[in-house]
Chains A and B, each alone.
Chain A
Amino acid sequence: MATASGGSEFVDKFPDEAAIVKASFLIAFVSLGIGAFFGLIQALHRTNVLRVIDSADYYTVLTGHGVLLAIVFTIFFLCGVFHWAVARSLDRPAESALFSWAWVGLMTTGTVLATVAILGGFVPNLGMSADVLFTFYAPLQAHPIFYIGLAMFIVGTWLAGADWFLSYRAWRKNHEDERIPLQTFMVLTTMIMWYVSTLGVAVSVVFFLIPWSLGLIESVNPLLTRTLFWYFGHPIVYFWLMPAYLLWYTVLPKLAGGRLFSDPLARVVFLLFLLLSTPVGIHHQYLDPGIAEGFKFIAMTNTMFLLLPSLLTAFTVVASVEHGARQRGGEGYLRWLGALPWRDPAFTGMALAGAMFAAGGFSGMINAGMNINYLIHNTLWVPGHFHLTVGTAVALTMMAGSYWLVPQVTGTKLYSRPIGLLQVIMWFVGMVFMSNAMHRAGLAGIPRRTAEPQYQNFEFLTPIGSIFELRVQIALGGTLLFLSVVLFLFNILLTSLGEESDRPVDSYLPEPLSGPEGSPRVLDNLAMWTGIAAVLVVLAYTLPLAGIIQNGGGLFGGGLPVPATVSAGFDLVATTVTSAFNTLWGVVA
């Protein structure tokens, strides 16, 4: 972690970077507002409480909700956080402000294009729509500008990563023997994971979906594009989570009045995520025909390994927070909890987000089990799960973090702490209602992604309570969540309009209790870790992809044959890898 900020605030020291962060946050918050409004419409519509849209428009709303929240809000916000974290922890501005604006501009243009395509779905005679949901599975097809916008957005994030790597390289020149500052280490490992994983979605969009939506090719192989999507779709989960982890590891302990427990442990966790995030994507496809059960089993095993860094994080963060509470005079086995700074919305929001993440982890283990997944696949259980993870662990941490970060880039004091506190608590209560009821509804068999979850001659039954109660809870929870977003946006708006202050917030971050000095240097060898990550990806994906292409009607589906050379190449790769695997298996077993 970098040294003390030395009195001068981030915005005074790094005005250009602060402007970039502000711009990223602004777009993130606008998306949050629109996305949350769509969420409210859905929650009320599918529970039949209030219907302002036609059921035929449900997918337009749902696509807008998924894309604006899970892709635009989260990623713009994390770009802001990363830009802040790199500048402050390396203690140097970005190499070129123009370059930074270029990626903000590219991502914004991409967002606008994709959003226009989605909203076009509300105007039937426009002939433009993108009702494909945020997973954009073929054969659902969107207007080309949706995919083009998406591609621009992704390329924008690549440039953002380049920006941070350039800063790091420049820093390295005059800090040859130093350890990479922790926050920068977190940003760089996360971005390497992102580069590895976005390759899949880039191939899917550029080579298949864009040509197909333009009519240049007749069909695509839906299983191939789905698999390429999930190749990226699981790592994106960690792309959302890593900025939240960055805040939990480096900021939350300070807010609690203490310090991070262990810097090396944090590094190990980020490396494990780099290695294990990508070779697990097939766990989203347990029910896809055309992928052999064995590959699904491997994906499941890798997924269970991911519990390790998650539990390491839970331990380190809770230990750091407890340390903080004891510094503040907390005592006893559990009584120290009372000594935490619950008045501070930044602290309370992050702590509640962490608590909900634990619950999300448990329901995630059920999703990850190949056999019990059958019970909840494509039911409302799944949105119940990820509103705890991305929808709370990430989104609530981002909102809570804003109460501490936004004053640093605007130079103004937070407008109201009590409103902030009320906001994060409302989110928690609203999400308890909505997510719990969604999980239960899923167990009863109610499907997700449908405006009218009713079937004639069929009744959903719950073991406890009634479907009616669950509906009321979803509608009530959704309403509280929406109001919480309104309070948040209102508080942030008034903060940014406030008067400049000399010391808008206490932005000093103390050193960890146990620093990086004693830990193995190899932790900082980014090239080596990238190499291992790539090997794991090749091992996990070569055979399944070859199978999907050969058995699933070729690269472009529709039964079109794969060109002979390509097919021979795949055969070669497939036999080599199979025999290597068999040899290995022979050695192990």
Chain B
Amino acid sequence: MKLTKARALILIAFSVPVAIELRTVAGFFNVELPLIAVAVIEFLFLALLFVLYGLYGEGSESAA
């Protein structure tokens, strides 16, 4: 499936609630996640998406 712009935007959108609630979920397992860790994880996710978009995105040749 091609990673279109629309699909990428949807993935970004759904990553936000996950990121916001990440500390709560970690808290269930007695892991105290600092805010900065959440920011880093979200940033890594966005970076990964960016790379994938470059590889399989709308403009690229290779379709997944």
Contact = CB atoms under 8 A, between A and B. Distances in A.
A433 B16 contact: yes
A432 B1 contact: no
Nearest to A338: B1
Contact of A465 (B1, B5, B17, B23): B23
B13 interface: yes
Interface string B17-41: 1001101100100000001000000
A553 B7 CA distance: 61
A525 B1 CA distance: 48
B17 A436 contact: yes
Contacts of B35: 465, 469
Nearest to A337: B10
A429 interface: yes
B24 A425 contact: no
A486 interface: no
A429 B13 contact: yes
B6 A343 contact: yes
Contact of A425 (B4, B13, B17, B20): B13
Given A342-B10, A422-B9, A425-B9, A464 B23 contact: yes
Contacts of B24: 464
Contacts of A335: 1
A421 B6 contact: yes
Contacts of B17: 432, 436
Given A343-B4, A464-B24, A469-B35, A421 B9 contact: yes
A31 interface: no
A221 interface: no
A426 to B, nearest CB: 9
A425 B1 CA distance: 21
A74 interface: no
Interface in A392-446: 418, 421-422, 425, 428-429, 432-433, 436
Interface of B: 1, 4-7, 9-10, 12-13, 16-17, 20-21, 23-24, 27, 35
Question: Which 3 residue pairs of A and B lie closest in terms of their CB atoms, listed nearest first?
Answer: A342-B6, A343-B6, A432-B17
Interface of A: 335, 338-339, 342-343, 348, 352, 418, 421-422, 425, 428-429, 432-433, 436, 463-465, 469, 473
Given A338-B7, A422-B9, A464-B23, 13 more contacts: A342-B6, A342-B9, A343-B4, A343-B5, A352-B13, A425-B13, A432-B17, A436-B17, A436-B20, A464-B24, A464-B27, A465-B35, A469-B35
